Amino acid sequence: MDFVISDRSRLFYIENSGLYEKLKGGIRTTEYIYLGKKDVLQFVEAKTTCPNSNNKEESKEKEIKYNRYYRELCQKYTDSFNILTASLLGKNGIEDIGEKISAIRSMENIQIRFLLVIKNAEETWLSGVKAELEYRLFSLRKIWKIDVQVLNEELAYKKGIIKV
């Protein structure tokens, strides 16, 4: 998937940053962080597929795969959020962070969104994926008032998040 990045000053391409290179041992990150319109700070992750919750209990292997998928995904969101907030608080520097993001001095008026785009997902699956993420990220979401959004390729295209 090819994401639409209209303003590089609003981008923190965390996966390709020098900061990530310095920290990466045991750290997982989202693809990038983007400060969108209306001060929505989006932590964007892309996946090609997701495990089916309807058959996760068919075998121990499927259950392990299901839990690993969500554990790793939640770690990506949590680590990315922690890296950015630590950087904004002066702990890691802000060298690769876009000017608009690095200029954030207060999170009071910033809406935070964890956005997952699953390329090959049927629209009927998305609510289950969202519910699982919301459950697993409950504390972080509640403390920081974080919104979770899950889209497939078609919905992401309609919202102008990806190009086809």
110: left (phi over 0), alpha (psi -120 to 50) or beta: beta
Model pLDDT, residue 71: 97
| Domain count along the chain | 1
Asked if 66 contacts 56 with a C-beta cutoff of 8 angstroms, the reply is yes
Model pLDDT, residue 7: 94
Q: E-strand spans in 36-142?
A: 40-47, 111-118
Of 69, 57, 102, nearest to 83 by C-alpha is: 102
Residues contacting 118, CB < 8 A, separation 6+: 46, 47, 48, 49, 50, 125, 126, 129, 150, 151, 152, 153
Asked if 87 contacts 112 with a C-beta cutoff of 8 angstroms, the reply is no
Domain that holds residue 25: 2-163
Q: What is the per-residue pLDDT across 87-145, written as a single tens digit (0 to 9) for each?
A: 999 998 888 999 999 999 999 999 999 999 999 888 888 999 999 999 999 999 999 99
How much is the pTM? 0.93
What is the DSSP pairing of strand 146-152 with strand 111-118?
parallel
Q: What is the per-residue pLDDT across 37-89, written as a single tens digit (0 to 9) for each?
A: 899 999 999 999 998 777 878 889 989 999 999 999 999 999 999 999 999 99
